[in-house]
Amino acid sequence: DVKVTQSSRYLVKRTGEKVFLECVQDMDHENMFWYRQDPGLGLRLIYFSYDVKMKEKGDIPEGYSVSREKKERFSLILESASTNQTSMYLCATRTSSDTQYFGPGTRLTVL
């Protein structure tokens, strides 16, 4: 079974704080993704990575950065959190057959 884990299920941060969201997969997949999910807007791609140290912007990268130092770990960084970044954040990994599997999500609230 594919297993994708996210470091926190719930997180509360203050405006201006630096926030790290961690995602780990145990299937040696090359491709990993970060999405945010908001009511009425669906899933939106923030960044993705197709190899270690490789990253590509998704549809809404502004205000975010990512880090992929090891194959199994993909981190999403909010350099200076803002209230409009309050959201559900979902990490996903992709298999060789182009199927994506998601982690359980991190509900981030920025006060």
Partner 1 sequence: GQQLNQSPQSMFIQEGEDVSMNCTSSSIFNTWLWYKQDPGEGPVLLIALYKAGELTSNGRLTAQFGITRKDSFLNISASIPSDVGIYFCAGQYIAGANSKLTFGKGITLSVRP
Q: Which residues bind partner 1 (CB under 8 A)?
A: 4, 30-31, 33, 40-43, 45, 48, 50-51, 56, 58, 90, 97-105, 107
Q: Give the largest CA-CA distance in the chain.
A: 40
CB nearer to partner 1: give 16 or 37: 37
In whole angstroms, the minimum distance from the beta carbon of 50 to partner 1 comes to 4
CB nearer to partner 1: give 59 or 79: 59
Residues 6 or more apart in contact with residue 90 via CB below 8 angstroms: 34, 35, 36, 37, 43, 102, 103, 105, 106
